[in-house]
Amino acid sequence: MTPDSPALNFIFINGKGSGGKDTQANLLLETIPNSIRLSTGDIYRGAKSQQGEYAGFFSRIEPYIEAVDKQGALIPDEVIFPIVEAVIEKNAEKGITTFIFTGFPRTIPQLDSTDKLMETLRQRHAVEASFACIAILDEHSRKRAGGRYESALRENTKPRPDDIPETVEKRLEIYRKNTSLMLHKLAREGRLVVIKGSEGIQEVWRRTKERLESPTSRPSKEIS
C-alpha cells in the first residue's frame, strides 16, 4: 500500500431475483459520495460491443463470446478478474472510493477469487469489503416477477427477460445450487450481513443502511 493510495470500500449485494438488489444499490449510490456500481455483465457487454469504456477489453473476452452467448457459459475467473481489477484501478485514479456490485460473486470459486482480488488490492490500498444478502422467499421472487410479467402483457409491452416464468425458475435453481452455498459459507465465517427483503422498498432501505453501518453477521439459517 502506497502512502497516497486512496482507501477503497467494496459492497457486494446478493440475493434471489426480484429481491431488490439493484434498487438498494441505486439508493446507496445516491447517498455515498464518490461511489460507482460495477457489473461484470456490463463489462462483458461493453467489451463485446467494442464501444464505450470497456471496449479495450475485447481481445481478452473474444475467445469466449460464442460459448457465453450460445451456451450460457461464464467468462473464466482468470480472465474476468484481471479485467475487474483494471476497471477498479482506473476508477480509483478518477477519485472513486466505493464500488458496489450486485449479484456477484455468485459461486464459492468466485468468492475465493474475489478474496484474492481484495488481497491484491490491499498491496496498494486500504481495503474494506462488505457482503450482504437481501433475503426473500422463493414465493416472493415468483410473485414480484410474475406481477411485472402480467403487467407487461396487459400493457402490450415486452416483458423483462428475467421476469419470464421459465427464467425465474431457472434462476432460483441456480441460486440454490450455487449462490446459496456461497452465502452460507460467508455466514459461517462471520462475513455476511443478512437483510430481510420482504417488506417495502423504504423499510428494506432502512435495514440496509442499518446493517451495513453495523455489520454483524446473522446465523446462516436466516438466509432463505
Model pLDDT for residues 85-120, shown as the tens digit of each residue: 999 999 999 999 999 999 899 999 999 999 999 999
Identity of the residue numbered 164: I
Fold of 8-34+97-222: Rossmann fold (3.40.50)
Instruction: Supply the DSSP string of 73-94, one letter for each residue.
Output: ----HHHHHHHHHHHHHHHHHT
Identity of the residue numbered 27: L
**pTM score, whole prediction:** 0.87
Which sequence spans correspond to the domains of the chain? 8-34+97-222
Give the neighbor-by-neighbor strand order of the sheet with 98-102: 35-38, 98-102, 8-15, 127-135, 192-196
For the segment 49-68, the average pLDDT, to the nearest whole number, is 94
Q: How many CB atoms lie within 10 A of CB 2?
A: 7
- Calculate the alpha carbon distances from 105 to 67, 91, 102, 117, 151 in Å: 20, 20, 8, 12, 31
Question: In percent, how much of the chain has pLDDT > 70?
Answer: 94
Residue among 216, 224, 214, 217 at smallest CA distance from 135 = 224
What is d(CA 138, CA 125) in angstroms, rounded to the nearest whole number? Answer: 39
* Local confidence band at 221 (pLDDT 50, 70, 90 cut-offs): low
**Each residue's pLDDT tens digit, 131-188:** 999 999 999 999 999 999 999 999 999 998 889 999 899 889 989 999 999 999 999 9
- Calculate the alpha carbon distances from 36 to 82, 99, 132 in Å: 18, 5, 17
